[in-house]
Amino acid sequence: METGLDRREFLKTTVATGAFLMAGSLLKGVPQAQGLVKIPESEKIVITVITDNLSDVNRTDYKIAKRLTKEPYPLNAAAHAEHGLAYQIETVVGGEYHCGLFDFGTDPHGIMKNMNLLKIELGKVEALGISHDHWDHQTAFVEIMKAKKDEFRKSIPLYVGDQFFVGTYQRLANGNIISLTDLKKNDVEALDFVKITEINGPTPFIPGAYFTGKVEQITNYETVPSIYLVKKGNEYIHETFPGEQALVLNVKGKGLIVLSACAHRGIVNTVKHAQKMTGVDKVYLLMGGFHLINAKPELIQRTVADIKAINPEYIVPTHCTGYEAISAFSKEMPNQFILNTAGTKYIIEG
């Protein structure tokens, strides 16, 4: 039996990624070859939604979704929910177990309550990641790290996208501009056991899981609204979220898992990017925030139609997808759709 993704194999994969990134910088404007990132296949993947917008103590297990048990006491299933998102990612590659945490929500007390309910062992976490610099994905981070400092490994990496700490803003309907960022670089650096790693291309997270790097925008309808801004000098300019990260995993014999956070650059773009990046067309599970909340009906319809054409085995909209879009996916893809709740585990075996 193989011993798993050893250090040599992991470094070889990382070097291949570096070559991919270098080629991208040298060949700007030239279509890149497909399949240049080979993600090791996982025999087993477990994605645990530590928190999300919806909690439902009475919802039962469904297909690959396993809910919190109500025994021995129903309060054990009453997971904290919020306008935020946090995941635990577990993989088994070559018989070896790996674990990472991706996004951290807003309320540290609620997140830590759920971690306890879910029996998450923080000492097994090998890496941390934050998808993008919006408050609903990172506000709880520092307080959780401080409270659980003795449980985490020393020098644990925190992966963030390029320009993560620059800050993003939103222009309100009344013209006022507000900050959407809560996490400060100085506060993270003050955590002497966390090492910030900024990434700008496909990057290994844990064995079996890769960050996407910058998602290429190829659809003509998935555009970032002009209300999102970034500050350049004394000016506010349009923010297009080039540093936002999604995760891509590869299930042995089943295909890709694409796990987004908000997909500001488009969920269809994100899936297409993952397919091109890996050379794998089959999508087993598409899951995450699709950022269709308050979207116009025609945008929702086009997105649902394109995702339906991609034909994932399962689709799990979360967080910022919005009621209307969630309802549309449920109606148009009833056999593939799973309603997510905070505390749910998605267990996939190859």
DSSP assignment of 59-91 equals PPPBTTEEPPP--S-GGGG-----S--EEEEEE
Domain residue spans in the chain? 7-17+33-349
Report the pLDDT value the prediction gives residue 343, as an integer from 0 to 100: 98
Sign of CA dihedral 12, 14, 20, 21: negative
Tokens of 28: 């700007």
Q: Are 158 and 142 in contact (CB under 8 A)?
A: no
- Cβ contacts of 192 within 8 Å, gap of 6 or more: none
Distance CA 325, CA 317 (A): 9
Q: Residues in the chain with pLDDT < 70? A: 1-35
Distance CA 279, CA 26 (A): 21
Strand partners, 104: 86
Report the pLDDT value the prediction gives residue 25, as an integer from 0 to 100: 33
Report the pLDDT value the prediction gives residue 31, as an integer from 0 to 100: 33
Pairing of strands 235-238, 228-232: antiparallel
Report the pLDDT value the prediction gives residue 22, as an integer from 0 to 100: 36
Quickly count: other Cβ atoms within 10 Å of residue 56's Cβ.
Answer: 17
Per-residue CA distances from 280 to 28, 41, 255, 271 (Å): 23, 12, 7, 11
Separate counts of helices (H) and strands (E) for the chain: 7, 18
Report the pLDDT value the prediction gives residue 17, as an integer from 0 to 100: 42
What phi and psi, each to the nearest 5 degrees, are found at residue 282? -70, 125
Q: Are 114 and 50 in contact (CB under 8 A)?
A: yes
User: Is the CATH number of domain 7-17+33-349 3.40.50.2300?
Assistant: no
Q: What is the pLDDT of residues 157-167, one digit of tens each?
A: 999 999 999 99
Q: What is the DSSP letter of 321?
A: G
Q: Give the CA angle between residues 333, 320, 57 to the nearest 5°.
A: 75
